[in-house]
Structures are given as structure tokens and as C-alpha cells.
Chain A
Amino acid sequence: MKKAYDIVIIGGGITGCALGFELAKRGRKDILIIEKEYLTSGATGRCGAGIRQQWGTVLNATLARDSTYLFENLEEYTGYKGDCGLNQGGYLIVAYTEAEWTQFQKNLELQHGLNIPVQKLDPQGAKEIVPHLNTEGLYGATFCPTDGHADPFHCTFAYAKGAERLGVEIATYTEVTGLRTAGDKIIGVETTKGYVQAGTVINASGYNASAITKMVGMEVPVYPERHQILITEPVNHIQDPMVISFHYHFYCQQTPHGSFIMGIGDPTEPVSYNIQSSWKFMEDCATQVTHSLPILKNIRVVRQWGGLYDMSPDANPVIDEMKGASGLYTVAGFSGHGFMVAPKTAIIIAQQLTGEKPDIDLHLFSANRYETGELLLEPSVV
């Protein structure tokens, strides 16, 4: 680490690494990424790694669509020698209530307007795509064949290595302990490895985002919420798409290796840094998934783990410069869908910071929406 950098990015997840890469690609020099532990050690490395373009707001759908295009060539784009593991098996989103089905028709119209190739399916059509789907109580489904999943580790390393090649420095096992300001301008970052001056600081620390902004006396409404995932033994390939239900809060997909990976949200989950595995999750997840996909009733669970969403009150991120600390930007609060929108989001923020005209207007993600009450409610989250 040097004594001074132009830009310091806090957080070595996919958001921080993609930002470092995109900024360096636009010619910015003297960039440092600070990571408390190792790259992907936060939400990125514990996530389900789904890539879904079927969103209910134009902004999220556009970000996910453009990010999907980037994921499709991420190795070439970043100059990475590994395989980012993109598998476009589609997302089958199943509707179990009339209200949900009505919402899906609205979403479909919005998605078609953005050239996202989503199909509307009746229960029989859904069964043709996933033959072992239990269609009892099903109103219908939507299916986007270019949705899928990728390897969150390789994707992050692709950006990190690409960034390093362009001169970005990455300091792992370095924790931010304070921020220094002069007047209302950010001037530096205190870390466990010493103080570094910084012209701009980007807070991409996920569920730690509010802890970082508190260092300069500011609040962002981003808080940690445990979500758990379990993975089964591998079996021969039977399921292409991710099957997902917002009504029952579950998702389930088969990885290229053959394991089924699945999760279920718990609406009673408290705000906490707890990432312990729970029996309740195992039981809830198994009960729901074996009801919807009965073929999985005899498959064995190999392991389960917990991770933290960086939740915000409207399940959408805060992407904004902090009032009262100019030069401090927060890019966090992605609420469980940060991985899938990171590639495009990083480009837009890099465009904003380098004076280019941004491809997409992100003002709907401004921090003051929580004060004005103009929340960006996303109807399609697990």
C-alpha cells in the first residue's frame, strides 16, 4: 500500500472488484481496493449466484439484462484465463396466487419492452420445461431462457485480476477502522495497515455499509440479514432452469456438477450478523422444495451455509454520494441481487465518476429516497 490514492474502494466482493476494473479501464490511476478478509469473503462468496433478468422495475430489469450480456463474455472482457462458469439454463418463475400472476403479466410487458426474451407459460407449459414440477395450485409461470447462474468466485477473480493488470492495488486482510474528513470533504481512510489518503472513497462494503458511513456520522439504511442455502449430492442432469417462487420465497437449481442448490427466505429473520446454519432452515427449505419438486424427496443434503444480504428498506441499493462528506460514495444495499447486476452497475458508476455520460440514470437509487418516501419498491424479490 502506498500513502495516497486517488480512489479507495472498500470491499472486495464482486461490486468492489468490478468497480476497480471499470474505473481503471477508463484510465483512472492510483486505485486501491481494501478488503477486510479475502476476495469474495462477504456476500459474494456465499450467494446463490443466480442471474435473472425478470424484474418488475425498468431499472433492475435493464441493469440485469445488460449485466447478463457482460457475463456472457466476462472472461474475454476482463482477460481472465479461468472459466466464469456461466450457465444459461433459464429462470422459471412460478405463480401461486392470482395477485402474483397479475403482477407477472405486468412484469412481462415491461420485460418485453426491454427486449428480454421472457415467455408466458400455463402450468402445462411450465411442466414441459421442468417435467418434475408439481403444478398443483399453479396459476402459470414465466420463463426467460437467457437467465442462469455463474461462478461468483471466478467472476470476482476475473474482475480483480483484470483490475490488477490495469494497475489497481488490492489489499486483503486489511480492515477500515476510520474515515478522515476535512470540512465536508473526505480525505483519507484509516486501516489496520495504516492511514492512506484518498481523493474519493467508494463504500462497497455490502452489509457493513452503514458501519462505514457511521465513521463520518452518517446513516444509510443498509442492514445485515441472514439467508441460508443448502446443497445436495450430485445426480445426473434433470433440471435446466432455476425454479423460483416469490410466494413461497424459495429458489432451486441444479448446478453443472449435478448438485441441487436451494434456498428459502424467512420473513421472520431478524437484523443480525449471525451466519450460523439453522435446523429451521433445513426443515422449511426441504418441506417447500419437495412439495414443489417432489422428485427431490429422496436426495441427500450434503451441506448448508448462511450468508448475509445487505438489505435496504425497499430491497434496492443505495448508490449515491454522501451528503456532508463529498467524495464518499456508497454502493450497497443490493438486498440479495447484487451479484447479478454488478457488471453493469460498475460501468455506470465508473462512467459517473469519470465524467462520461452514464448509460442508465441511477438517481432512483439515491440515498434521500428514504427521507422523501419515494421508495423504489421492487415487486420481484425472494
Chain B
Amino acid sequence: MRIEQHPILEFDRKEKITFFFNGQEMEGYASETIVAALHAAGVKELGKSPELHRPRGLFCAIGNCSSCLMVVDGQPNVRACVVKIKPGMQVELQSGKGDLK
């Protein structure tokens, strides 16, 4: 879901690009963060809590809360709510606290 019209804000979505989520091709706009593009595509579960392994979704949306830490291009613990998508970017759900590579 995306807001198409807003009484005050204007959206410059920029060009449409593709990236990958768990290996699956996804579409989004170049102006969007990873989480925004995933939400628009219906993906709301962004990870699991480290101790009890319960689903975690978007919470603070400003890069503070650690609720949306994901593996991006092999790099663990990326705050997906503040990082923008790039063409061909590989986004994956993270297992546990993330594996250093």
C-alpha cells in the first residue's frame, strides 16, 4: 500500500527499481527505504526476537529501536527502516543476532 495523494506532502518516488527479498524479486521506488518497499509489497514481518523468536515488525521507523535489523548484501544488523533500496540489493531475514561474514 502506498499513499498516492496527500493534502500537504508531495512524493517524488523516483524511478522504479528491483531488489531481492529472501531471494525473491521485489519492486520498489528508489526513494523508498527497505521497510517502506517491503510494506508496500505486503511484507510486514522483518525478523524474529532474539530470545523468544517471536515475529518483529516495524516499530520506531527512525533507526533507534533494533526491531527491523536485517541482512543486507551479506551485512547483518542493518536498520532496514533507514536504509534505502538500491537496484539488485539482496535483503534477507536475519537469524538470531546476525552472522558476521
Partner-contacting stretch, out of A52-60, A192-200, A231-239, A324-332: A231-239
B75 touches A235 (CB 8 A): no
Which residues from chain A contact B96 at a C-beta distance below 8 Å? 236
A296 touches B97 (CB 8 A): no
Which residues from chain B contact A296 at a C-beta distance below 8 Å? 100
Q: Which residue of A lies closest to B69 (CB)?
A: A233
Cβ < 8 Å to B, chain A residues 299-319: 299-300
In whole angstroms, what is the CA distance A299 to B98 when docked?
A: 10
In whole angstroms, what is the CA distance A110 to B97 when docked?
A: 41
Q: How many A-B contacts if CB must be within 8 Å?
A: 27
In whole angstroms, what is the CA distance A298 to B75 when docked?
A: 8
Q: Which residue of B lies closest to A233 (CB)?
A: B77
B77 touches A238 (CB 8 A): no
Q: Which of A236, A295, A298, A300 contacts B97 (CB 8 A)?
A: A236
Interface range on chain A (Cβ under 8 Å from partner)? 10 to 19
Is A221 engaged at the interface, CB distance under 8 Å to the other chain? no
In whole angstroms, what is the CA distance A326 to B8 when docked?
A: 81
Cβ < 8 Å to B, chain A residues 239-278: 258
Least CB distance from B10 to A in Å reads: 34
In whole angstroms, what is the CA distance A74 to B2 when docked?
A: 58
B101 touches A295 (CB 8 A): yes
B100 touches A300 (CB 8 A): no
B residues with a Cβ closer than 8 A to A are 50, 75-77, 95-101
Q: 19 A-B Cβ contacts within 8 A?
A: A132-B100, A234-B50, A235-B77, A235-B98, A235-B100, A236-B95, A236-B96, A236-B98, A236-B99, A236-B100, A238-B99, A238-B100, A258-B97, A295-B100, A295-B101, A296-B100, A298-B75, A298-B100, A300-B77
Query: 5 tightest A-B contacts by CB?
Result: A234-B97, A258-B97, A236-B96, A295-B100, A235-B98
A residues with a Cβ closer than 8 A to B are 132, 233-236, 238, 258, 295-296, 298-300
